[in-house]
Chain A
Amino acid sequence: GEDVEQSLFLSVREGDSSVINCTYTDSSSTYLYWYKQEPGAGLQLLTYIFSNMDMKQDQRLTVLLNKKDKHLSLRIADTQTGDSAIYFCAERIVGGFKTIFGAGTRLFVKA
């Protein structure tokens, strides 16, 4: 079955890079997503990658995908205090309708 796992906490200093890691189990063609959730708020889609891609860059965000190890990472360059939030890794099989979420990584940014 599908399963998504991620580390629960990450603490970085303002200006440093943050790297949030995620592993998934499904071998099918999938979309892999990163969502951001601020306290008391909904989900904001940050970026996504299709499973036949290795990397995607969008301004301060870089997504790396290692298909062999089923490992996904999100790198945030020049992390700011406003980046403090919970980051969810999620996957959805192509042609499927169910998005499987990890438990979320809580990013703390110290000024």
Chain B
Amino acid sequence: NAGVMQNPRHLVRRRGQEARLRCSPMKGHSHVYWYRQLPEEGLKFMVYLQKENIIDESGMPKERFSAEFPKEGPSILRIQQVVRGDSAAYFCASSPPTAGMNTEAFFGQGTRLTVV
């Protein structure tokens, strides 16, 4: 059973370009979470999705950021018109449908975005 798979591991974008980060949850997991880790900081919650639904996006910046988790395929975190301040590690986590009672969300290896 493969773990949470994120790709790419490293992504370099010029200012103004778009960044698309992908996350494939663990098999059997239908809940996906995105977190951002700025340099020298802890992880900050961004968004929680279930298949085809955004459950909570209270941690998402109001502009340029969007997330989806379609019925088929991976979850995508999309950042439009990237700026240098978007440079960070973006982590995806997944958990099974009994998320409320579950003890653990499993994290991927992260995508390190560098904006030049």
Which residues of A are interface residues toward B (Cβ below 8 A)? 4, 31, 33, 35, 40-43, 45, 48, 50, 88, 90, 92, 94-104
A27 to B27, CA, bound (A): 33
Q: Please tell me if B103 contacts chain A, counting CB pairs below 8 Å.
A: yes
Known: A42-B109, A48-B103, A48-B104. A98 touches B42 (CB 8 A): no
9 other A-B residue contacts (CB within 8 Å) besides A45-B104, A45-B107, A92-B105: A31-B103, A42-B91, A42-B107, A42-B109, A96-B100, A98-B33, A99-B35, A99-B93, A101-B35
A40 to chain B, nearest CB (A): 8
A97: B residues at CB distance < 8 A: 31, 33, 48, 55-56, 99-100
Known: A42-B109, A102-B42. A94 touches B100 (CB 8 A): yes
A48: B residues at CB distance < 8 A: 103-104
A26 to chain B, nearest CB (A): 14
How many residues of B are counted as interface, with CB atoms below 8 angstroms from the partner's CB atoms?
26
Instruction: Give me 25 A-to-B residue pairs in the complex whose CB atoms sit less than 8 angstroms apart, sorted by A's number.
Output: A4-B42, A31-B103, A40-B112, A42-B91, A42-B108, A42-B109, A42-B110, A48-B104, A90-B43, A92-B105, A94-B101, A95-B100, A97-B33, A97-B56, A97-B99, A98-B48, A98-B56, A99-B33, A99-B93, A99-B105, A100-B45, A101-B42, A102-B42, A103-B40, A104-B41
A92: B residues at CB distance < 8 A: 105
